[in-house]
């Protein structure tokens, strides 16, 4: 039902569905819930304790305290990536994610579905990455930031502010450059709406105008609602 390499470590608190592939020297410990048909590459670590100073680190890998990790279905986690247990809540990854090698997902992060994180991208604690966002190679995200749905973060960018839906950001610190038209088209926005959104992001780099436009655009208003809700 699941293909687990003999060298992998799967702790007694780990539960999983069917069709999962667990690669050589992967480590899954603590309260990890794994769905169906996930592909876990070699050297991946899921469920290690949150990296919090003063945390009572375990003396046995049979029981690792923390908020746990929940991973959905059909995700690909490539070599050496790390997903840590929650500290205040559960660290979550949705469905159909593509998490490339050496990616770091810290405690209490919440990733939506169809998220792509390129090699070496890193999320500090409590970050929210919403559906279909794409983080380029080596991108860094400050703790407690919210990356909206359909956002593209450029290679090597450092995100220190929340990023509204369907924006393209780049730089250190990152700034809005334009819209992510590719994802805007994928969610079904018309060519006219895509043009208006791109113009809004280009004319007002704070993103305020674009967010107001999205909130009044059929097929995109829910993205704004979810982004605002995640920001608290």
Separation between Cα atoms, residue 59 and residue 99, nearest integer Å: 30
Residue 110's beta-bridge partner residues? 92, 128
Separation between Cα atoms, residue 24 and residue 26, nearest integer Å: 6
- Residue pair 30/24 in contact (Cβ under 8 Å)? The answer is no
Residue 52 corresponds to which tokens in the numbers above? Answer: 């919090």
Separation between Cα atoms, residue 86 and residue 139, nearest integer Å: 22
- Residue pair 103/84 in contact (Cβ under 8 Å)? The answer is no
By annotation, the residues acting in catalysis are 107-108, 125
Separation between Cα atoms, residue 201 and residue 210, nearest integer Å: 6
Residue 9 corresponds to which tokens in the numbers above? Answer: 């470590």
Is residue 195 classed exposed, middle or buried when 0-12, 13-18 and 19+ CB atoms within 10 A define those classes? middle
């Amino acid at each position: 039902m699941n293909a687990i390499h003999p060298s992998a470590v799967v702790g007694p608190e780990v539960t999983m569905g069917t069709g999962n592939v667990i690669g050589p020297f992967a480590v899954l410990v603590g309260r990890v819930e794994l769905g169906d048909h996930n592909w876990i590459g070699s050297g991946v670590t899921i469920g290690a304790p949150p990296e919090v100073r003063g945390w009572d680190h375990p003396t046995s890998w049979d029981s690792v305290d923390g908020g746990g990790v929940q991973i959905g279905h059909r995700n690909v986690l490539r070599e050496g990536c790390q997903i840590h247990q929650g500290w205040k809540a559960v660290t979550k990854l949705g469905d159909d994610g593509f998490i490339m090698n050496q990616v770091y997902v810290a405690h209490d992060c919440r990733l939506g579905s169809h998220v792509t994180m390129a090699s070496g991208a890193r999320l500090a604690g409590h970050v929210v990455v919403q559906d279909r966002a794409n983080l380029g190679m080596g991108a860094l995200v400050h703790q407690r930031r919210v990356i909206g749905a359909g956002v593209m973060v450029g290679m090597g960018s450092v995100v220190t502010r929340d990023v509204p839906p369907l924006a393209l950001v780049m730089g250190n610190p990152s700034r809005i450059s334009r819209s992510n038209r590719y994802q805007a088209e994928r969610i079904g926005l018309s060519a006219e709406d895509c043009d208006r959104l791109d113009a809004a992001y280009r004319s007002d780099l704070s993103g305020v105008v674009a967010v107001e436009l999205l909130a009044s655009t059929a097929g995109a208003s829910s993205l704004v609602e979810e982004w605002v809700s995640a920001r608290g």
